[in-house]
Structures are given as structure tokens and as C-alpha cells.
């Protein structure tokens, strides 16, 4: 299956967590046959740990998370590419991730289980509605980009990440297009990713982009009747979930999702109604 004999993992960094980045790379390299590509996203190459089987590419500016991961995918060659946040570590042998792809030719992406410093899983890190059953794997409708692996063939077929999003919801939208092309997504729990508990508000524009991107992904990828319900549900849900100080930013972002436009090269391509039903059967109808 592999285009190379290695299993390549991409770690995106802004260079502000060198100690965590080195621990992330070490945890990946504990598995046989793994190589690590560090994408320095607006950071100097000097932040990359000098370790065997670790190389880097340097992006002059911070291009955002989806564009940074896309650059990493383009700079690798393996048939399956893993992605890990720079402040996360992996517990477990990564060969089981490759085995999942080898055993299922229709598997497009896997999401790994994330646990925090208290050995619990944040409900928003479980790819099921309500964050239920974090320890039970199986078929799901979406995945998390900071702890995942993606089949290159599937990624290329659907056009890769919607890079204009910059931060937030890029894997949700990519999952919709994967499902529409017939690819499956699975949640694997035998490999655990340890990641400190974080909140959206840690990013300066986190809640504003969250609001905008909810509208953008619906406008680009959902049939209009579903898109209208999706953005209406998330107008309310996002407002309720956002901390009080962030609610104005969320609403401003949601409105800007209607009044702004992504780059001209990105066309609206709504998924089929059969895909809407498929996602619904998987427990994640594309309105929530």
C-alpha cells in the first residue's frame, strides 16, 4: 500500500513550544518505520529538534492550520500520512494505524483517542454527537486533525483541506467530502494521544473564526436546505457555548461568514442527499 517504506507524520508548529515539540517527535519515533516532518508555520527552522528521521519545511508566514497541514501533506510521500499537534504525545505502537488502512481499502481517515492531563477525554474530542463513549471505537462521521491519519489517495481525490478556513472546522468539512466520495472514517482507541485540555479562546481570533467557518463550510459543502438549518443551529449553539466575553466575537464571525468570500479558486460543491443520510446514520447529521 505505501508509496514509501515509511509512515510519515506531520507536526505543525509555530515555534513557541520547543520542549513540547521535541517530546511530540520523540513519541512518534518510538514506533518502527516512522519519519517526522515538522512544518514550521511562520517559525524559523531552528525550532525543529535535531533528531534522526526528523526533517522540516519552513513557511515564511503563519498560513493557518489547514494550509499548514496541506503543505505537510504535499511535502510527504507515504500512502498514509499522520498528523499530530506539537503539544501532544502518542502512547502506543503506530503500526496498528497502518494496519487499519491495509485491512480496509475504503478507509479514508482515522481519528485517534485524545486524553488530557487528567486521563479524561474532552467531549468535543469525541467524534460523536454529545461526546459519548470516548473509549469505544468504530465508524464515525468526522475526525480531529491534531490526532489523525489520512489516506493520500482519498485526500487527493476530494481536493484536500479547505485552506481558507485558517482555523476551525477544517476536518468536519473534509469529512463531508470524503463521505460523499465513498470513503470511510473510523475512530481508533488503541493508540492514545495525550494532549493538555485547551479551549477555543486560547487563540486570539478563535471564537470569531469558529463563527465564520460554521457558515463557510455550510455555504460551500451542504445542500442549501441543510446548510440553512446547520448555520441556524450553530448560531444558537455557538452563542450558548461561547464564554460571555467571546459571544460578541462569535456573532461577528457568524455574520462575516455571510458577508465575506473565500478565495476564487474554491467552488461550491454540495454533497449529495444520499451522503446527508449516510452521515445521519453514522450519528452525525450535518446540521449539528
For residue 140, the 8-state DSSP code is E
76-104 pLDDT per residue, tens: 999 999 999 999 999 989 999 999 999 99
The H or E element that residue 212 is part of is helix 206-221
Q: What is the mean pLDDT of the chain?
A: 93
Task: Write down the residue that cell numbers 450553530 correspond to.
Answer: 234
Among the listed residues 77, 88, 90, 109, the one whose alpha carbon sits nearest the alpha carbon of residue 8:
77
Instruction: At 194, list the grid cell.
Output: 495525550
Give the model's pLDDT for residue 124: 82
**Whether the model pTM is above 0.85:** yes
Distance, CA of 33 to CA of 18 (rounded, Å): 24
User: Using DSSP, how many helices (H) and how many strands (E) does the chain show?
Assistant: 9, 9
Q: Hey, what's the cell of 81? A: 500520512
pLDDT digits (tens, 9 = 90+) for 211-257: 999 999 999 999 999 999 999 999 999 999 999 989 999 999 999 99
- For the stretch 115-152, pLDDT in tens is 999 889 988 888 888 777 888 999 999 999 999 999 99
Amino acid at each position: 500500500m505505501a508509496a514509501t517504506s515509511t509512515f510519515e507524520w506531520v507536526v505543525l508548529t509555530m515555534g513557541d513550544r520547543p520542549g513540547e515539540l521535541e517530546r511530540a517527535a520523540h513519541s512518534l519515533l518510538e514506533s518502527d518505520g516512522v519519519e517526522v516532518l515538522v512544518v514550521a508555520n511562520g517559525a524559523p527552522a531552528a525550532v525543529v529538534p535535531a533528531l534522526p528521521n526528523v526533517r522540516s519545511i519552513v513557511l515564511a508566514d503563519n498560513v493557518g492550520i489547514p494550509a499548514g497541514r496541506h503543505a505537510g501533506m504535499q511535502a510527504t510521500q507515504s500512502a498514509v500520512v499522520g498528523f499530530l499537534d506539537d503539544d501532544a504525545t502518542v502512547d502506543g505502537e503506530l503500526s496498528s494505524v497502518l494496519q487499519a488502512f491495509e485491512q480496509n481499502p475504503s478507509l479514508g481517515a482515522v481519528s485517534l483517542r485524545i486524553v488530557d492531563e487528567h486521563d479524561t477525554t474532552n467531549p468535543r474530542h469525541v467524534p460523536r454527537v454529545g461526546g459519548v463513549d470516548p473509549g469505544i471505537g468504530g465508524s464515525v462521521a468526522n475526525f480531529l486533525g491534531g490526532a489523525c491519519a489520512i489516506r493520500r489517495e482519498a485526500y487527493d481525490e476530494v481536493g484536500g483541506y479547505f485552506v481558507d478556513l485558517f482555523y476551525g472546522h477544517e476536518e468536519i468539512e473534509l469529512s463531508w467530502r470524503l463521505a460523499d466520495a465513498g470513503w470511510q472514517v473510523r475512530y481508533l482507541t488503541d493508540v492514545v494521544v495525550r494532549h493538555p485540555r485547551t479551549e477555543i479562546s486560547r487563540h486570539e481570533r478563535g471564537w470569531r473564526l469558529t463563527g465564520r467557518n460554521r457558515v463557510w463550510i455550510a455555504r460551500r459543502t451542504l445542500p442549501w436546505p441543510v446548510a440553512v438549518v446547520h448555520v441556524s443551529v450553530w448560531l444558537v449553539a455557538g452563542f450558548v457555548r461561547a464564554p460571555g466575553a467571546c459571544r460578541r466575537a462569535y456573532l461577528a464571525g457568524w455574520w462575516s461568514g455571510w458577508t465575506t468570500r473565500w478565495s476564487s479558486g474554491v467552488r461550491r460543491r454540495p454533497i449529495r442527499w444520499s451522503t446527508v443520510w449516510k452521515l445521519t446514520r453514522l450519528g452525525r447529521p450535518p446540521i449539528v
